[in-house]
Structure 1
Amino acid sequence: MSSPSATMAVWSSAWLSGAAAADDVLDALQDWAELHEVVAADENLAARLEIPVRGEPGCAPASLLGVLRRTGVGEGRLVMPVPGDVRGLGGPSAFATEALRAGEAVVLGNLGLVPERIGSATDNGILRWTVLDVPQATPQPNVPLGEAEHELTGAMRVAAGMLIELGVAKQREGVREELQARVAERTKSSWPAGMPPRAIRVLQRAAEVSAILELAMEDEPGGALSASAALKRAEALRPLFSAVRTARCSAVADAVRALSDHAERL
């Protein structure tokens, strides 16, 4: 799949623009966890938004949708920061710190939503969304979707070649089946009606490349890979991870614009 934040950004924006129902948003979030809860990062924000503060039992996502409607936040934007690439975070802030730690977040106006899994990923546990102020919201640099797709296609070829160069197929029995299973799991997300086909294609391709990269980054059986070799591998794959993040952000931005335009024409 893409990421919880991508799902939230697209579906909440579709709902805010009238292109999806609230139940559709809640159903889409089920791809990521059976239960979701929402909390505010501090007491002032909790009081302003009328939701629980962190440390208390969270409220349901339906309450979050109500908050988004009341505050008039507008369209969602996906950010996927990593150390050395913090585009779209709007400068130092508590939101920037937590988004960087999570590796993803949604920006909706002056609010930021950061997901965090509570409990084991294997039991599909609880996904907590922490709401924070975004005091200096900065638009993410706009990479055209066509350019992002082109870079991602090249990244997929390089990633596949890297698997061969690293000898992953020789080191792991059943690696092809394992990769197919990972790809299938990561591309099963549901999207709103009216979602641009190209955006869906790019998100699916990003999930495929991500699955390949994850496999390439895993240690070989017995942990025989040396520290220097592991470092070289990480350096070689870093631009490919960047291409995946850029493609996801561009696809989400394109989808949000298209869904908003479609709703306005209705």
Structure 2
Amino acid sequence: MPCPSATLTVWASAWLAGAAAPDDVLDALAPWGQLHEVHAADDTTAEAASLPTLASRPTTLTFLFAAIRRSAPRTPARLVLPAPGDVRGLPGPGVFSREATAAGEGVLFPEVALPTGGLGIVPTPVVDGVLRWTVYPVPDPGPVPEYVAVSQAERDLREQVRQSASVLTSLGVARHRPGVREEIAAALRARPESRWPDGMPGQPLRVLQQADEVSAILAAALLDDPGGALSASAASARREALRPLETAVRVARRAAVAEAVRVLAPA
């Protein structure tokens, strides 16, 4: 499903470039949680960014934006969507890379004016309606991430959908769990509303919407079957068969967000 890190990456970059107001960023993030908590991961980062540690009372997104403004006055953000075995875009080994991989997402500000180096931010649900944003130090931003044209990412995503359609049919997902189409439709209706800045380019917006739809299909396809309709080996085979589609979704989202940032916050 859509990820809050994509929303923060696009909106924070637009805001830092003067293309959005702080209140607009807050409004865009509001659907992701009734309450947003902000912490620094360690004492050094807390002191450098003027944020509370995890052991202290959390602060709000307003103070996170103030820390970003002070430390990264015009640096565009970078979306990372790592997964085990796919760490493209991460800055290298470290606590941010580890936590972003566990969460499946994060936002990187690779060039900031702090003694800790860059900043990495990872959102994690705490309880229902509460989203915690933890700020990590990133001493080394790592190599420049690979460039994938959004048009190429869109074609690859469509091709993987076509290839996976036969896999889904052969694995009998709908046959093993009646009502799966309704589950997918309900998941799409229940997703948080994605809001984007004025001037959001059309192709990245279309690709992000396609990625959301494919993610809902994947979630339904990978859900455990009630009653154990599939054997453990069949379930494992299903996951392996759909792994390329999961990768294509991540690549498409990264490419779409990177292109949106390029347009909204040109260097």
Same-fold status (TM-score > 0.5): yes
Give the distance between the partners of 2:158 and 2:191, measured in 1 at CA.
17
Give the distance between the partners of 1:135 and 1:89, measured in 2 at CA.
12
Equivalent residues in 2 for 1:226-265 (5 A)?
Answer: 226-261=231-266
Post-superposition CA distance 1:200-223 (Å, at most 9, x none) = 000000011111111111122201
Q: Choose 93-102 or 238-247, whichever is displaced more.
A: 93-102
Q: Secondary structure at the match of 1:30?
A: helix
Post-superposition CA distance 1:154-178 (Å, at most 9, x none) = 1222333333222222233322222
Contact 2:15 2:25 in 1 (8 A): yes
Post-superposition CA distance 1:165-203 (Å, at most 9, x none) = 222222333222221222333473111110111000000
Structure 1: gaps of 5 or more residues: none
Residue 115 of structure 2 is matched in structure 1 by none
Residue 46 of structure 1 is matched in structure 2 by 46
Give the distance between the partners of 1:95 and 1:187, measured in 2 at CA.
25
1:113 aligns with 2:121: yes
Contact 2:32 2:192 in 1 (8 A): no
Post-superposition CA distance 1:203-261 (Å, at most 9, x none) = 00001111111111112220121111111111101110000000000100000010013
Contact 2:31 2:192 in 1 (8 A): no
Structure 1 counterpart of 2:12, one-letter code:
S
Give the distance between the partners of 1:27 and 1:187, measured in 2 at CA.
12
Residue among 129, 134, 137 paired with 2:133? 129
Residue 113 of structure 2 is matched in structure 1 by none
- Compute the RMSD of aligned alpha carbons: 1.5
Equivalent residues in 2 for 1:109-188 (5 A)?
Answer: 109=110, 110-120=118-128, 125-138=129-142, 139-186=144-191, 188=193
Contact 1:187 1:207 in 2 (8 A): no
Structure 1 counterpart of 2:107, one-letter code:
V
1:190 aligns with 2:190: no
Q: Secondary structure at the match of 2:32?
A: coil
Residue correspondences, number: 258
Q: Secondary structure at the match of 1:142?
A: coil
Q: Choose 167-176 or 250-259, whichever is displaced more.
A: 167-176
Give the 3 Å change call, closer, same or farther, for CA 116–63 of structure 1 in structure 2: same
Residue 220 of structure 2 is matched in structure 1 by 215
Q: Choose 186-195 or 91-100, whichever is displaced more.
A: 186-195
Residue 54 of structure 1: how far off its partner (Å): 1.2
Give the distance between the partners of 2:51 and 2:91, measured in 1 at CA.
24
Contact 1:187 1:204 in 2 (8 A): no
Structure 2 counterpart of 1:48, one-letter code:
A
Structure 2: gaps of 5 or more residues: 111-117
Equivalent residues in 2 for 1:51-90 (5 A)?
Answer: 51-72=51-72, 74-90=75-91
Residue 89 of structure 1: how far off its partner (Å): 1.4
Give the distance between the partners of 1:116 and 1:196, measured in 2 at CA.
28
Q: Choose 151-160 or 21-30, whichever is displaced more.
A: 151-160
Contact 2:184 2:216 in 1 (8 A): yes
TM-score, length-scaled by structure 1: 0.92
Residue 37 of structure 2 is matched in structure 1 by 37
Give the 3 Å change call, closer, same or farther, for CA 166–128 of structure 1 in structure 2: same
Give the distance between the partners of 1:168 and 1:94, measured in 2 at CA.
37
TM-score, length-scaled by structure 2: 0.92
Once the two structures are aligned, what percentage of the paired residues are identical? 52
Give the distance between the partners of 2:164 and 2:30, measured in 1 at CA.
30
